[in-house]
Structure 1
Amino acid sequence: MCAAPCEDHCRRGKIDAPISIRALKRFVTDKYGVESLAPQTQQSLLDGETDAGNKWSWHLPMQTRIRKSIAKGKKVAIVGSGPAGISCAHDLALMGYAVTVFEASNLAGGMLRHGIPEYRLSRSLIDAEIDRTRALGVEIRFNSPLTSNFGLADLRRDGFEAIFIAVGTQRGRDLSIEGSNLDGVIRAIDYLLNINNGYRVALGKRVLVIGGGFVAFDAARTALRGGSDPESGLSHETVDAARLAVRAGADEVHIASLESFAEMPVLRTSQGHEEFEEAKKEGIVFHPQRGPRRFIGESGKVKAVEFIGVQRTYDDNGRFSPV
């Protein structure tokens, strides 16, 4: 899921090649993760059966001793079960804390489950990671959002000594231009959330995506895999919606971005370059350096978009300042 920007900016690359962070993470995951070929290895470390002599506190053989040294009964509440919430719960449980996760929906995983298409991230893998965390003693309370009737003060009264807020961001960006409320103008984040939660979303035969990031790619490729039966509409936001639509039966899919190809966010990483080349092979048409001025509608439905040319997207200090 990570585009590994650290590799693209690794200073070692100026000498020969960047450090292969993704490959190193894959090695550790294969050896100790939920997909491990020898899952008993991690458990033997946690049980203190193996000790390589490392006394660093996060060295797994030390965890049994650390947990015994921490006072029992200290309670921590975590709000949200996305990657940040589950990671925090996992690490705190290893340290001996009694952890309770409060999740607003009926499934754990946050945007891992609700925002990323299944073809990119297996739901069985998400479940395995969450089950591994729950096996450490973490409790997850589903359908338990923080509200005006149940908030931080209530968690304090329930005896939680620390609270970690990990609610994430599940709202797409709106374009504050004329016509953005027309039927058929859809935020890509909302589109993905609906598709991944089993709702039917219709797209049209001619689809325009406004933006230059990864979200539009995800949305475009999801429809191809049975996420919806496109009939009418127009999608807008980042770059994954386009590829999905072209595979789902759209006759034309276009991507318009403020940025030039050199500035486009999706092209800032090696993984993004791969996504971009795949999109081109699928027939998506790109329109760089185009800024939307207004959506044009007819009978309440979007029919066209008026654009203006963009000379630059960032100022001399690298701040977003399109001209």
Structure 2
Amino acid sequence: MRAGTTLVGMAGKAVRDLRRPSFPVDVTALRGDTPAGRPGRYPLDLRPMTAGSVLDHERLVVTRAATGETYRNPVSVSLYALAQHTGALAGSRRPAVPDERTTGIQALLTQARWLRAGQDGNGGWRYPVPVPRYGVRPGWYSAMAQGLAVSVMLRGYAATGERSFLDASEGAAELMLRPLAAGGCSHYDRLGRPFLEECPSEPVSHILNGAVFALFGLCELSRHQGTAVHERAADRLRDSLAEFDLGYWTRYDLRHPAPASLAYHCLHTALLTAAGGVLADPRWPAVATTWDRYTRSPAGRLRAAVGKGRFVLRERRAGS
């Protein structure tokens, strides 16, 4: 199929399809009315995102790589665990207690125990797959994986009281905040503020959604510890938001100028809305409101679809 025909088809579908991906912000979680030291529902209701998760015979999430092989992706494992935890709490008028073993809590603990057992001596989970887009070979750590695992481990600790879950969360956060040059996941600016890198690369990629997911883990650890370990990362990311704004759409990362897909653009809006509640900072949802207006503009959607289509085609040609 010719490139022009492909782009027209993609753009036309983007304008015709008014259905937007669902990334519900969990307003119950943002109220923060759970008992002290017991994390409640995650800021996003991840159940729609994880509805298609595939489980193996051990009831663990498995992901299919580009090669067709399956592996256990710590991000997918964590997202599913948090979604199941939300479902467990949503089905009860009170948070789950240690001796309550609902299906959702059991699912959370199954994933959490795999994460705990697979955490390496550095405090992380290495990815066994490459990321050609960023020139990254297998064996990399992800701030997104680290931050999501922190959120899972804290809930595992709350559900069981097992100190090893708390130790695992602290180790995951330490690696996440370690500088890239030292094998960690954070790129520091001149003010000493970290950008939490979903896919550490050279040059840096600065992926927006991964950084926000990672930030949520730090926020929850800060709340548990009574510290402010998350504040510098939050300041850096908030000050970077304008760089992701194309004036009509958002960018997936700061390494490539292409607009994000519709799904990721909608996810950006939801994440910033949730971040405003988590951080009690109205500047985040103010940006989200602007980005949501882009989504409602047929002209903006058309322009984004064309730009994204061109980027995908260039990537395919470069890889062929």
For the criterion TM > 0.5, the same-fold answer is: no
**Greater Rg, structure 1 or structure 2?**
1
- Could you state the TM-score of these two structures normalised by the residue count of structure 1? 0.32
Higher RCO (CA-CA < 8 Å; seq separation 6+): 2
Structure with a larger share of its residues in helix:
2
**Structure with greater strand share of residues:** 1
